[in-house]
């Protein structure tokens, strides 16, 4: 435990080295008295980001799919900060493939990153959140956690699971003073989800949002106690359509529109570059 336990809010943000996670960290740094703990795999990025923040910041460089990672994060938080008032489960990835192409292996690795890692980290940190109540957990799902598209079934499965688990966890933890909020971004241009297929087309660019707007939604769902936020907000209409007209979404999903809206991901692009090897410039 620290010599002088922190009295202000302490937040853990996963996937903090870029994209929505980085935007969340910078947004939380605007909150009075905030201390942030950055979690991601790339230590050099975490170190550089922490150094630019106007609030106390520490970091844990870890792959959250590793068995020891949740315990490492928990020990770091308790030893350096003594308490935890906000956990943002944001880390995630996606590899596009049909089920026939990717099979169980693709579903398993996607679930491991997007769902299992969040559950395991939450399990490790829940006692600290309870003892620091009022506190909050924000799970960053996706509009793909309400509807599915071709070649993104594994990603949708992981985000559907995260959304359903969040609803149950909210009901279970409310009595302990731990609020559970859910954020469901649509297309947000980030390193992990560059959405180049959309941003390169003037007629489609408008449907792509920004990490900063997603970060504000995280603050709404965490510090302001909102149960659920879509980014941008009109994307919530898609979830309504899923209930009222599922046949319509299935028709759209299997046609050209569905193919157009299934974009490449950063994980795929990175793997493709590794397979291609060094290039001459």
Catalytic residues: 155
Residues 6+ apart with CB under 8 A from 94: 110, 114, 152, 154, 155, 192, 193, 265, 267, 268
How far is the C-alpha of 226 from the C-alpha of 12, rounded, in Å? 19
Q: How far is CA 179 from the centre of its chain?
A: 17
CA torsion, ordered 171, 173, 178, 179, to nearest 10 deg: -10
How far is the C-alpha of 36 from the C-alpha of 57, rounded, in Å? 5
């Amino acid at each position: 435990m620290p010599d002088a336990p922190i009295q202000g809010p302490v937040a853990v943000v996963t996937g903090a080295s870029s994209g929505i996670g980085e935007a969340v960290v910078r947004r939380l740094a605007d909150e009075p008295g905030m201390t942030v703990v950055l979690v991601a795999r790339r230590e050099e990025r975490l170190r550089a980001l922490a150094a630019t923040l106007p609030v106390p910041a520490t970091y844990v460089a870890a792959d959250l799919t590793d068995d020891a990672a949740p315990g490492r994060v928990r020990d770091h938080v308790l030893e350096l900060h003594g308490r935890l008032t906000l956990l943002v489960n944001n880390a995630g990835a996606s590899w596009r493939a049909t089920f026939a192409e990717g099979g169980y292996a693709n579903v398993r690795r996607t679930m491991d990153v997007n769902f299992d890692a969040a559950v395991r980290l939450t399990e490790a940190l829940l006692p600290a959140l309870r003892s620091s109540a009022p506190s909050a957990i924000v799970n960053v799902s996706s509009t793909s956690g309400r509807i599915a598209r071709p070649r993104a079934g594994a990603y949708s499965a992981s985000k559907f699971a995260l959304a359903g688990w969040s609803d149950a966890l909210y009901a279970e933890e409310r009595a302990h003073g731990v609020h559970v909020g859910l954020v469901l971004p649509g297309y947000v241009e980030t390193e992990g989800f560059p959405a180049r297929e959309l941003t390169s087309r003037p007629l489609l660019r408008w449907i792509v949002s920004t990490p900063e707007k997603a970060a504000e939604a995280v603050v709404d769902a965490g510090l302001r106690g909102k149960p659920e936020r879509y980014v941008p907000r009109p994307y919530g209409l898609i979830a309504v359509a899923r209930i009222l007209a599922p046949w319509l979404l299935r028709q759209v999903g299997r046609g050209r529109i569905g193919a157009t809206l299934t974009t490449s991901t950063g994980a795929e692009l990175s793997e493709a570059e590794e397979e291609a090897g060094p290039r001459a410039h």
